[in-house]
Structure 1
Amino acid sequence: MNALLERIHEQAMESITADVIMVQGSSFFHSHKLRNQLDYKVYLHSDSDKRLANYLTYTKGHQSFETAMQKYFEEVKPKDSSTLQSEEHADFKVQKADAEEVKGFVSEELKLLGLIIKDLCLAKKGDGSVADL
């Protein structure tokens, strides 16, 4: 992660005081220092075809199809490999493929995940480790 982005993340983490913080993107997972500030990390996986479709939808009207595809294959897709490797740092991994399923996850399964996290927080020992549940 570049130094500026890491500094921005560090400043954000220092200023946030909440029991649960949700962050979009995997850049937090790339920094050992930032990962260690989080008690639990959830990785929400999306299908590579869906990621390409979302990227093209996002860039539509902002650049030509050819430019978007070139940028995708030269810049975005190589970063996907790094992003996918960051999955190994997650405590919870959720396999979801499309936006509708993700919306369903956020509205239903996240409630369950919130209960799991709450249970884990209650079971957390004083030394920072998690008690066996």
Structure 2
Amino acid sequence: MSGQSRNVYWMVVRNFINSFKPRRIRGNDMGKDYIGNSYFEIPADPSEGKRKPTRWYNPPKGQDFQDPIPAEWEAWLRMRRQEPPTEEEITKNLAIAQMKKINAAKIEAKRLAEGGSLPTIPEKGHQSFPIYPDYHAGESQNEPPNK
């Protein structure tokens, strides 16, 4: 029993001493996206008690986190994928996204050319709910409505 308590005590002292050591704040450069964000990682080091890598990104100067980051890089940052995305993967997915925008614009122009109108925004509130006569039969009689 005393061996365990000394071991715990020693771990606390060692962690306290290690907290004063300078930390590694520069990570490995993992890549750059088409927006200009730079991505970094400090790998996991189980010998120091660090089980997961630390990942972050720095936006280009003057763009303080305004633009959304690409989905591939976000998945990497959130540890949903182990390896950072490749340039080919990013360019392929960007081309697909641009193709979808072009196709959506063509479909919208075709719909408007055929006489379609712009979609209407439904009302908000209880007036927007459908009214069924079968459920409102009691209201026409002398019974109070069930609410």
> Normalised by the shorter chain, which TM-score bucket?
under 0.3
Of structures 1 and 2, the one scoring higher in RCO (CA 8 A, sep 6+) is 1
- Normalization by structure 1: what TM-score? 0.25
Structure 1 or 2: larger helix share?
A: 1
Structure 1 or 2: larger strand share?
A: 2
